[in-house]
Structure 1
Amino acid sequence: MLRQLSIRDVVLIEALELEFEAGLGVLTGETGAGKSILLDALGLALGVRADTGLVRSGQAQASVSAAFELDSGHPALAALDEQGIEREPGEPLILRRTLKSDGGSRAFAGGAAVAAAGLRDIAADLVEIHGQHDDRGLLNPRGHRDLLDRFAGIDIAPVRSAWTRLSVLEAELAAERAKLDEANRDREWLDYAIGEIDALGVEVGEEERLASLRQDMKAAARIEDDLGALDDLFGGSDGGLAQLRQAARRLERIAEAHPLLAEALASVDRATIETAEAEDKVAEARRALAHSPAELENAEARLFDIRGLARKHRVEPDRLPGLLDELRQRRGAIDSGEERIAGIEQDLTAARAAYDEVASAISAERRAAGARLDTAVAGELVPLKLDAAQFRTAVTVTDAGPAGIDRAEFEISTNPGAPFGPLSKIASGGELSRFILALKVALAEAGAAATMIFDEIDRGVGGAVASAIGERLARLAQKSQLLVVTHSPQVAARAAHHYRIEKASDGTVTRTSVRRLTEDERREEIARMLSGAAITDEARAQAAKLLEAA
């Protein structure tokens, strides 16, 4: 709830410190004393649009701060978390706003600088201000369904959970279908590419082996004549080996004639052996290099095919077997994708049925709760002099969402036979405030902001109607902190805390001040409200009766 309000240099307010308590508090004062200034100052701290006209004449800036007490589960804490604002548990939350005379403004929440919009988001769960031109709270249809749910005690967690499950499956299905569509566009190409690479049957290292074999066969073709000539030189009756052997036989016959001839024989024997080995190696090499032109042509053709296929798929030749595995996996994914989609569709059908079931059940609860709320509001209208009006909760089907399939809006008809319409467009200024009060009383158990402010809710009424308004405000104040700007003595008499707004002038400067009244001062103020400028004993006696009756 609102604990403290500090104002500096706002219009006629020079400096003001106000302390507030729980329950019903009223602010009274003569017309023009500055009640609207007080609300404008509070609005500044709550993030409403800044108006440089609020800066006190001759001052550089105005400032307002509002301190709130929050319990551990207060919804405003979520808004603080979203904006990354830290707050010590148990410490008051202070909202502060400064406004310069040149139009610049700064906002703070819990000591952290925030945008004015951020201040409004936080304040939305702290204070409700209801006046004749207020377009928030009960006048905003976007919040009517939540109010109806709280009135009925409806737990929307099951439908929210069902919607989340449904949304996740729908997103998953869309993603899988997109993947399958993309894969299907490649299905024909995959089948062709897999068949092409599979048919060629490339092995890892085959391209290198073929290249080496082709090189060897081409080399053999180039040296074939030399190999043939070597055969002729080594072999035959006139070959080098035959001549060495002849020389060895001749030396063998005469080797004993001289030692040098024996050595010559030994050398020739060695040469014969080496030459024979050379002949064998040349023959072996010739056999190894032997090939047919067809074999070379086949090797070159396969090498051409392997390299051409590798270029086509932009991979190295040795990557073709791995690419074949990858393409087969992609092709298999198409089939498995179809299976996954079938499974998701089955789950989605079940999830949609579950959502429809829980959403329909909640819809029925809302319609029944709407009828109960209509009856409760109708019971509040007669005492508030709105007996010619009718109220209804219109629950209609809308697009499915996390909160169900319903849209709820509070509608009224102010005269018999008149069509129903939105609260904000049908009710006149005086009727509007009383309708809001009737709804607030009917929705008392549905929860509201911890602090509610009613601005001249009793305008244009008096007597029994004003008493009825006062009684209902007091009833609401049992669950919330209420601050009411009022001209009605019947309403003021119901207050637990009474503040008087006063304006004074020293001839050159006019100032507005606010002070809390004692019990004697309260009686005098209520007497003034009853009789006007001249307070009579009869007015004081009537004021005492009002206070006693309250």
Structure 2
Amino acid sequence: MLSRLFLKDFAIAAEIEVELRPGMGVISGETGAGKSLLVDALLLLTGARADAGVVRHGASKAELIAEFELDGAASAAHWLREAELESDGECLLRRVIRADGGSRAWINSRPATLGQLAELSALLVGIHGQHEHQALLDRRQQLALLDAFAAEPSALTALSAAHRRWRDCRRSLSELEAEHGDAEQIELLRHHLAELERRQLSAEYLSTLQTDHRRQAAAQDILASLQQGLQALADETGRGARRQLQSASAALQRAVQHAPELADTIELLSSAAIQVDEAIANAERIQDDLDLDPARLDRLDEELSELHDLARKHRCTMEELEAVRDQLNKRVSRLDNLEEERRRAEAELSQAEQAWQGAAAVVSAIRAQAGQRLSDAVSALMSELGMAGGRFEVALERHSGEPNELGAERVEFMVSANPGQPARPLRRVASGGELARISLAIEVASLGADALPTLIFDEVDSGIGGAVAEVVGQKLRQLGEKRQVLCVTHLAQVAAQAHQHFRVSKVTQEGQTSSAIQRLGKTERVEELSRMMGGVEITAATRTLARQLLDRAANSEPVVP
């Protein structure tokens, strides 16, 4: 619940601090005194947009602080833990708005975004009144309230679990489809693999292929060189190396008897002649083996050209084609397995959707029954709250499309404020007073089923009076027995029902006007109620009536502080 609210340099408030208790509290005061300041401050602390106009004239910034006790606010405590913003069971919201228009926010003394303020405050406080920031106007909040009113959490848990399973199955299928690709892509991969598998791509084969190609391409040049070389070695006309060596050896042989030292030279020439003969034999053998085959050269050209084309297609070198083939083979094998996995995932997704449909059907039946009960209860309360002939309807609209975590329908709170008028969405009700009373009726009928520990009603009694005003006060007190209720009011019949009463007034000091707030005791409450009923002149009869109102309210069961 809200335990403390602090305002500094906010609008006409120089500094206000309010300590709040459980039960029903009211705020009253003269027109223009600043009764709605606390509500406006709470709106800003719940993430509403602010402008520099909220900063008190002459001040550099406005500061707002709200302190909440988390007993009975398990959802808020869980949110704080998840966001790592918890602080020994405390919840302190702080916001500073500068005169230049900028603002900053904190949760438990740690910087926070306005989005975080809005998320957390939605679990702590519900604000109803003549403004657009009301939780009951949000369709998701309406659905949450209906589900809480139905009080069947196990069905919602089963629905949530079914949706999570469906979502997981869909994600798995999407991942498989993304990896698998379409049929054309798969067929193209198989075609590429077949192209590569038709060819030898080993490093040894490619080396031999390139060597053969170079040899065939240079065969004519090789033959000419061989012929030229053989002629130089074996020419029988006397110019060949063999004949030259023979002639030199014969000439030296004739002189060796006179010059024995020539024997070594003759031996060297003899060895050279033997090597020349071996060279000639090798060259002749190579010449005989040389295959001048133009057709083979064409075949080698064609094969190398195809391999180079494949290398360009796969953006690699010819030597890397073997690795590309192996990778493609693995990928195609994986895709073949994925096809089976995809069919299995499709079956699991279909089963998950059927399970969700079953869980959603159970929730739909529960919501239909709860919607009728809530419609009847709120319609009856609307009559008590001065809207005789009005009716409230919970409209359930079937949701089309894929499974949703919220179920198979959406809810819309519909209202007809007067007899004969068609029901319209609650968010489109024109009268702020009617809207506030309908919100009160919903809260009373559901007895705080939305689990919010604190409820704020801003001038919920606008446009009513007399007996209806007293009924409104009684309903607010009844709601205050279950939750903390704070109501801004100008009616004594409503204010008399409060467990605690605050009066806002204007104070002028040194030419500066500011708002002040005071908690009233019983005597002060009599005077304030008398003022609210009696106008300018307060009579003894007015005070007597004020005491009677307080006594009647006191006879109801008191709230435990």
Q: Same fold (TM over 0.5)?
A: yes
Quote how far apart the aligned CAs of 1:135 are: 4.9
Q: CA deviation at 1:225?
A: 1.4
Which residue is equivalent to 2:398?
Answer: 397
Per the TM alignment, residue 446 of structure 1 is displaced from its structure 2 partner at its CA by 1.6
Q: Which residue of 2 aligns with 1:70?
A: 70
SS at match of 2:399: strand
Determine the C-alpha separation between the residues in 1 that align with 2:326 and 2:506: 90
Residue 97 of structure 1 aligns to a residue whose secondary structure is strand
Assess, with a 3 A threshold, how the Cα gap between structure 1 residues 9 and 274 changes in structure 2: closer, same or farther: closer
2:103 aligned to which of 75, 85, 106: 106
Quickly say closer, same or farther: Cα 1:231–1:202, change in 2 above 3 A. farther
2:318 & 2:53 partners in 1: Cα distance? 81
Deviation at 1:499, TM superposition (A): 0.9
Secondary structure of the residue that 2:36 maps to in structure 1? helix
Report the alpha carbon displacement of residue 358 of structure 1 after superposing the two structures with TM: 1.2
- TM norm structure 1: 0.84
Q: Which residue of 429, 439, 442 maps to 2:442? A: 439
- For 2:270 and 2:53, locate their aligned partners in 1 and report how far apart those are by CA, in whole Å: 126
For 1:21, the equivalent position in structure 2 comes to: 21
Q: Which residue identity is paired with 1:149? A: D
Match of 1:374 in 2: 375
Whether the 8 Å contact between 2:73 and 2:452 is mirrored in structure 1 is no
Work out the CA distance in 1 between the residues paired with 2:201 and 2:507.
103
- Tell me the residue number matched to 1:221: 223
In 2: Cα distance, 1:67 partner to 1:194 partner: 70
Q: Residue 55 of structure 2 contacts residue 97 of structure 2 at CA under 8 Å; is this kept in 1? A: no
* Partner of residue 500, structure 1: 503
- Tell me the CA shift for residue 136 of structure 1: 1.8
Amino acid at match of 1:467: E
Distance 1:211-1:55 versus aligned 2 partners, 3 A rule: closer
The aligned residue for residue 94 of structure 2 is 95
CA 1:503–1:321 in structure 2 vs 1: closer, same or farther (change >3 Å)?
Answer: closer
8 Å CA contact 2:203–2:319 kept in 1: the answer is: yes
AA matched with 1:106 = S
CA distance in 1, matches of 2:310, 2:209: 19
Deviation digits for residues 447-471 of structure 1 (CA, Å, limit 9, x no counterpart)? 3432221122223434433332222
* 1:178-197 map, 5 Å: 180-182=180-182, 184-185=184-185, 187-188=187-188, 190-191=190-191, 193-197=192-196
Describe how 1:356-375 pairs up with structure 2 within 5 A. Answer: 356-375=357-376
Q: Find the residue that maps to 1:35 and give its secondary structure.
A: coil
Q: Secondary structure at the match of 1:319?
A: helix
Deviation for aligned residue 1:245: 13
CA distance in 2, matches of 1:266, 1:133: 127
Deviations 1:393-427 (A, max 9, x none): 11120134121111111112234443222124347
Q: 1:109 to 1:80 in 2, by over 3 A?
A: farther
Measured after TM superposition, the shift of residue 67 of structure 1 is: 2.7
* Structure 1 residues 201 and 207: alpha-carbon distance in aligned structure 2, compared to 1, 3 A threshold: closer
| Runs of at least 5 residues in structure 2 that lack an aligned partner in the other structure | 555-561
Change in CA separation of 1:286 and 1:159 when aligned onto 2, cut-off 3 Å: farther
Query: What is the alpha-carbon distance in structure 2 between the residues aligned to residue 546 and residue 63 of structure 1?
Result: 37
Paired AA for residue 395 in structure 1? L
Aligned to 1:137: 135
Identity %: 32
3-state DSSP of counterpart to 1:142: helix
Q: Distance in 2 between matches of 1:490 and 1:442?
A: 21
Give, in whole Å, the separation in 2 of the partners of 1:371 and 1:357: 22
The code of the aligned residue for 2:95 comes to R
Q: 2 CA distance for matches of 1:300 and 1:286?
A: 26
Deviations 1:38-79 (A, max 9, x none): 433443444434354444444444433333333596545677
Residue 273 of structure 1 and its aligned partner are, at CA, apart by 5.2
Greater shift, 410-419 or 181-190, is seen at 181-190
In the alignment, residue 435 of structure 2 is paired with which amino acid?
Answer: L
Q: How many aligned residue pairs are there?
A: 539
User: Unaligned regions of 5+ residues in structure 1, if any?
Assistant: none
Q: SS in structure 2 opposite 1:437?
A: helix
Q: CA deviation at 1:120?
A: 4.0
Distance 1:507 1:243 in 2: 140
Show the counterpart of 2:125: 127
The one-letter code sitting in structure 2 at the alignment partner of 1:104 is G
Aligned residue runs from structure 1 range 345-364, under 5 A: 345-364=346-365
C-alpha separation in 2, matches of 1:240 and 1:153: 121
**Would the alpha carbon gap of residues 491 and 194 (structure 1) be closer, same or farther in structure 2, given more than 3 Å must change?**
closer
Aligned runs of 1:478-489 on 2, under 5 Å? 478-489=481-492
Shift of 1:184: 1.4
Asked whether 1:490 is paired with 2:493, we answer: yes
Aligned counterpart, 1:317: 318
Structure 2 vs 1, CA of residues 521 and 163 (structure 1 numbering), >3 Å: closer, same or farther?
same
Higher mean Cα deviation, 408-417 or 213-222? 213-222
Match for residue 459 of structure 1 among 439, 457, 462: 462
Q: Give the equivalent residue in structure 1 for 2:277.
A: 279
**Structure-2 change in CA distance of 1:34 and 1:326 (3 Å):** closer
Aligned-pair CA distance for 1:108: 1.8
Distance 1:87 1:386 in 2: 44
Q: In the aligned structure 2, how far is the partner of 1:44 from the partner of 1:194?
A: 65
Q: TM-score, normalised by structure 2?
A: 0.82
Partner of 2:166: 166
What do you get for the CA RMSD once the two structures are aligned?
Answer: 3.8
Alignment of structure 1 residues 293-304 onto 2, 5 Å: 293-295=291-293, 298=296, 301-302=299-300, 304=302
Opposite residue 519 of structure 2, the aligned amino acid is: R
- CA separation of 1:72/1:412 partners in 2, compared to 1, >3 Å: closer, same or farther? closer
CA–CA separation in structure 2 for the residues paired with 1:311 and 1:371:
75
Matched, 1:209 2:225: no
